[in-house]
Structure 1
Amino acid sequence: MNNIFKTLLFILVSHVVYGQETFQFQIQFQPKSSYKTNLEMNLNMKMHVSGSEKNVGINDLDSKMLMNFEMLTKTDIVNKEGKLPFEISYTDLDTKMFMNGQEIPNVTEKSKELILGIKLKGFETEKGREYSYEGDSEKMKETYENMMSSMSMLTFYPKEVFKVGDSKEVHIPFKMPLQQGMQMEMNLKAEYTLTKLDNDNAYFDIKMYSEGDIKPSNQFNIHIDQYQLRGKLIMNRKDQNINHSELSGPMNMTLEMNNMKVKMNSENNYKTHSIKL
């Protein structure tokens, strides 16, 4: 009897220790809860146009965009279908844009009011999250969808179990809408390395990269010269929420269209902070 008790105790302790030493992404909202999220984006881009005499005088552009916005997410109770309803709204927005050192007005007070009036409703299930847009402006809807598409790269995570030191890779289906109904599809990959694990948080190093050619249409071609973002992520194990993530690095591309070539070299910085209220 004593040996059986020791064996059961050993199995129990081993299971608990294994659970403490391993981690698996299980990001999900909690019922009847609120989350405050702040997103900062900083983009610096230098663009050089060559190959066309029509562009004399505007061959070199130096642009900078700063964006900071806050979102509030509220959840309800799980419904009869096993889905958790949630609603996301913007609570603050601040953007600035500079072109060759000169600030350019980009968001009017009316536009800001429209953006802050956007509400995103949806359901969370075991398979993920479903979204639907609510707002008065189709233009703002398009702006919102483009923004969410651009930020979708921050919402894909490996499904495997991690131990400290493990690295796992995930493919990110990233699409960016262009003009005239065209889309730019990039073959993005992200590598997550678990560097530290404690009772409260899981800590990761992140590397995101892409390479190759993008061909949205027969009219032009985009070649990725360099795309490699690096950063960190902190996951709150109790709240099942990412409290902090940051990514920064270069995104250099060459666009070729007819007799024109455009070199776009940019430095990208993303930061997110999220807390369960």
Structure 2
Amino acid sequence: MNAIDPDDVRPPRRQLADLLRAAILTGKLKPGEKLPSGPELAERYGVSKVTAQQAVSEVRAEGLVFSRPGSGVFVKERTSRPVGLRPHLERAFTAPKVTVDFAGFAAETLHGAISEPLDKIRDGRFRPESIDVRILVPDPGTPWALPARASDLADSPAFRKRMERIMERHAFGVHDEVLELKRIGLINSASVQIRVYPATPLFKLYIINQIDAFFGFYPIEEHQLPLDGEDTVMLDLVGKNATLFHLENQGEQESFPTQFIDQCQLWYESVWKIGREIQP
């Protein structure tokens, strides 16, 4: 792990959390390995004990580590998914205006992650003025290069039909839950737009409040599924096994995170333009 950079625009707490996260996700800190104690981290990186504790708390909130009373903090054997998305999404919902741009395969993870902050609006703990969500998913009416049948790499209309039902359940679920909050008067303004486009993504992308970006590649794995009355082995895109990498816009125009998020937004807008809107 690298040292804290005094010239970095990120606060030391965030720098240390990012270093710990990177060490865990790249395997430098192995599953089951014990993290250095708070005082050890503070001494190693030249930060206060409070800063070290805050950094550890951040990666704990993301599900990367767990505390064992009397023993210390350890790397989880299997990190929770999506890494880091849920706490940042919740933080976004404390802002007056919430925007979420998602591009991916089925919006299943988005539906699961957004449910908790929406519940907190229902409970009165969060009160944003507006929520605007855009969802980009592949067009199930267009043949796909991937996923494909493992036997001959051919498109499977039956598989696309199955995925269409999954997409509709989750994308339309987000639509209905967000607009319900406006209908009952808990938020002033809400919109959820869903578009399909003629390609399948090999990655998933979240852009939250134009500040946070989460990006992860879909692994391609073999799955056996019942399609058209027979078991079919598919080369499938597996979102649950995608590690999400997080970048945060700190306001420095020349910094890599800011430029990366800007490019993500440009890509998103370009694909959004060619998408076809669908309604629940």
The two structures share one fold, judged by TM-score above 0.5:
no
Q: Which has the larger radius of gyration?
A: 1
TM-score by length of 1: 0.28
TM-score by length of 2: 0.28
More helix by proportion, 1 or 2? 2
More strand by proportion, 1 or 2? 1
Relative contact order: is structure 1 or structure 2 higher (C-alpha 8 Å, sep ≥ 6)?
A: 1
